[in-house]
Amino acid sequence: MHQWGPPTTAYRRAGKESALPSGVDRALLRRVWAFAAPYRRRLVIFLVTITAGALVALAPPLLFREIIDRAIPQRDGGLVALLGVATVLVALASTGLDLAQRWYSSAIGEGLIFDLRASLYDHVQRMPLAFFTRTQTGSLISRMNNDVIGAQRALTGTLGQVVFNLFTLVSTLVVMAALEWRLTLLSLVILPAFIIPAKRVGAKLQDLTRQGMDVNASMNATMAERLNVSGAMLVKLFGRHDDEVASFSRSAGEVRDLGIKSALYGRIFFAALGLVAAIGTALVYWLGAQMVISGDLSLGDLTALALLVTRIYGPLTSLTNARVDVLLALVSFERVFELLDTERMIDDAPDARVLRDPVGLVELDGVTFRYPSAAEVSVASLEGEGAAALPLDARVGVDVLHDVSLTARPGSMIALVGPSGAGKSTLAALVPRLYDASEGAVLIDGHDVRSLTQASLRAAVGVVSQDPHLFHDTVGNNLRYARPDATDAELEAACRAAQVHHVIDSLPDGYDTMVGERGYRLSGGEKQRLAIARVLLKDPAVVILDEATSHLDAENEHLVQQALATALAGRTSLVIAHRLSTVQDADEIVVLDDGRIVERGTHPELVAAGGLYAELYRTLVRDAPLTRGAPAA
C-alpha cells in the first residue's frame, strides 16, 4: 500500500471546486513523484529510450547531407550504398526504440492504473456509511475510472512527451548550430510569438478541462441512478420519461458544448503556433538559399538544415504548451488525491484487539449520537451540483439519541419500538459500528466497539434489514458472501432452516440461478428468507432485525417468522418492529421517542402501564386488517 503523504494546498473540501492555481503546485508534483516510486527504475529506462530515440532521429538529415555533398559529387556508388545501409539501420534502431518506449509506457501506465484503482477502492470501501449516504455513485465511479486513467496519462504520456520534445529541441539546435549558427539564431527569433498564445489559451483550456470532468461526473451520476432497476421503475411509475430525457439531454449538451469549446481553443492555439513556425521555416529557407548562392553554405548543409528546422517547431510548440499540459494532467491526480485524502471517521485503532469467541453481551452506556456533518465525512464534488454549491461546514448534525443506556444479555431478545424517527434504526446501527457514538460507549462482551477490529466486530453481528440487498449474481454466491468457504451442504442446511430451500430448488438452475439486480427476480419474502439464510451461514452472536417483516403479507410473514425463530435461537437479538405482534414475546421491550428511552418492560407490563407503547398497541390493533393469519387482539 502506498503512503500517500500529506494533502497539498491545491485541494479544496468546501464549496465548488475552483481551478488549479496559475503555477504548478510543487507539493503536488512531489507527491506524484513519491507515488511513482515503485516504477522509478522503469521510468528512468523509459526516459533513456526516449532520449536515445531523439538522438537516432537526427541521423537521417545528416546522412542525406553526406549523400548530397559527398557521394553524388564524387560519383561514389560504394558510399551511396553504405549510406543507404546506414539509413536502414537507423530505421531499425528507431523502430526498436519505439517498441521499447511503448512497452515501458504500457507497463508503467497499467501498473499505475492498477495501484490507483486498488488504493481508491480500498479507501472508499473503508469509508463510513455516512460517506455513501451523501455521495453520488456515478460521480464516485467516474472519479475511480476517468480520473485514474487521466492520472496515468500524466505520468507516462505528458512526462514522456515533455522529455522527448526537450531533448529533441536541444539536440537539434546543437546540430544546427554546428552546421550554421546564423541560420540557427534566425530560427529562434520568433520564439516570443510562441509564448504569447500559450499564456492566453492555457488558462482557458485548463478551466474547460476541469468543467468537463465535473459535468461528465454529473452525467455519469444521473445514469447510475436512473438506469438501475429501482430508478427505472420510479421513472416509469411517475411517467417522467420525457422529463428524464430532457434533463439528460441538457447534461449531455453541456458535455458536448465544453468538448467543442476545448477542441476549438486547442485548434486555434496550434494553428497560431503552426503559422508562426511556417514563417520561421520560410526565413531559414530564404536566407539559406541566399548563402548557398553566395557560396557561404553547401547545398547539403542547407538540405540538412531544412530537414532539421522542421524538427524544432513541433517540439517548441509542445514545450511552449508544456505548462498547460502539466496543469491539465495534474487535474486528474488532484481529483484522485482529493478522494484519498478524505479522512475515515471510523477506522481501527492502532491497538485494536480481535473479538474472540463472542457470547453476545450488548451494552449501551449513556449513548448520545448526532449524525456527522458533511465536512466530516464528505467531498463536495461527489455530492452533486446542489450540495457542492453549499459550504459543507454549514450543515451540522443535531442529536438524534440522548443519553441512551440499555443491556441485552446473551441469548435475550430486546425489542426496539416507537414512532417513525424515534431513533430505533440509528441505535441499532451503532452496534456493528456503522456509526460511532458522539458521547458514551457501545460495548460488546464488555469491550468498547471502538477498541475492537471492525472485521471481528462485524463477524459477531448479523443484520437482516427491511430491504435486504442481493448482488446481480447467483443464489449460491449471494449466500456465500457471508462465508465464502461454505459447502453446498451447509448452504442447503441454512436455506432449509430459513424456509427457502424449496423455493430455490424449484428455480431453473437451483442455487446457480441469477437473482437479477438487487434480487428483483425474487419476491420480497424470498429475499428476506435468503437474507436470513445468509445470516445463519455467518453464525453471529448478535442478530439485528430492522423491520424485517414490515413489508410482507401475512403468509410470507408467517414463513419469515418461522425462519427468524431459527435464526434467533441462542443468539442475542435487537428487533426493530412496527408490527408489535412480532415482539410481544421479547424479554424486554424498549420504547423510544425523540431519541430517548421513555418506557421499558415486557408486553403485559407496558400495556398495563397505559403509556406510549399501550397507545401504539391500541392503534395498531384497531387499524389491523382482518387478513388470514393476522394476530388476534
Phi, psi of 617 (to 5 degrees): -65, -45
Q: What is the pLDDT of residues 218-262, one digit of tens each?
A: 777 777 777 766 677 667 666 777 888 888 888 888 888 888 888
Instruction: Look at the domain 26-340 and name its fold.
Output: ABC transporter transmembrane region fold (1.20.1560)
| Sign of the Cα pseudo-torsion (154, 159, 160, 162, in order) | positive
Which is it for strands 362-370 and 439-444: parallel, antiparallel or unpaired? Answer: antiparallel
- Residue in the block written with cell 411517467: 239
How many whole angstroms separate alpha carbon 31 and alpha carbon 241?
46
Q: What is the pLDDT of residues 544-585, one digit of tens each?
A: 988 766 555 566 667 767 777 777 788 899 999 877 777 888
Name the more confident of 376 and 408: 408
Kind and range of the H or E run holding 590: strand 588-593
Q: What is the pLDDT of residues 487-497, one digit of tens each?
A: 999 999 888 88
Amino acid (1-letter code) at residue 117: R
Under a CB-based contact definition with an 8 Å cutoff, are residues 593 and 565 in contact?
Answer: no
Given a cut of 90, whether residue 312 has pLDDT beyond it is no
Under a CB-based contact definition with an 8 Å cutoff, are residues 108 and 39 in contact?
Answer: yes
Residue 624: CB atoms within 10 Å: 15
Bridge partners for 407 per DSSP: 363
- State the pLDDT at residue 383: 66
Q: What is the pLDDT of residues 440-478, one digit of tens each?
A: 999 999 999 999 999 899 999 988 887 788 888 888 888
Query: Hey, what's the cell of 286?
Result: 530564404
Name the more confident of 548 and 418: 418
- State the pLDDT at residue 16: 36
How many whole angstroms separate alpha carbon 412 and alpha carbon 431?
15
Q: Which of 201-210, 313-322, 549-558 has the lowest mean pLDDT?
A: 549-558
Helix (H, G, I), strand (E, B) or coil at 363: strand
Domain ranges of the chain: 26-340
| pLDDT band at residue 203 using 50, 70 and 90 as cut-offs | low
DSSP class of residue 452 equals B
Given a cut of 90, whether residue 509 has pLDDT beyond it is no
* DSSP secondary structure letters along 74-114: TT-HHHHHHHHHHHHHHHHHHHHHHHHHHHHHHHHHHHHHH
Query: Hey, what's the cell of 50?
Result: 526516449
Q: How many residues are present in the chain?
A: 633
Rounded (5°) CA angle 11-32-316? 100
Number of helices and strands in the chain (H, E): 25, 10
How many whole angstroms separate alpha carbon 147 and alpha carbon 381?
13
Q: What is the pLDDT of residues 321-374, one digit of tens each?
A: 677 677 777 777 888 888 888 888 888 999 999 999 999 999 999 999 988 877
Q: Which of 126-140, 392-406, 418-432, 443-457 has the lowest mean pLDDT?
A: 392-406
Whole-number CA gyration radius for the chain: 35
Single pTM value for the model: 0.69
Query: Hey, what's the cell of 300?
Result: 547539403
Under a CB-based contact definition with an 8 Å cutoff, are residues 227 and 141 in contact?
Answer: no
- State the pLDDT at residue 7: 39
Given a cut of 60, whether residue 19 has pLDDT beyond it is no
Tell me the pLDDT of the chain averaged across its residues: 80
Which is it for strands 439-444 and 542-546: parallel, antiparallel or unpaired? Answer: unpaired
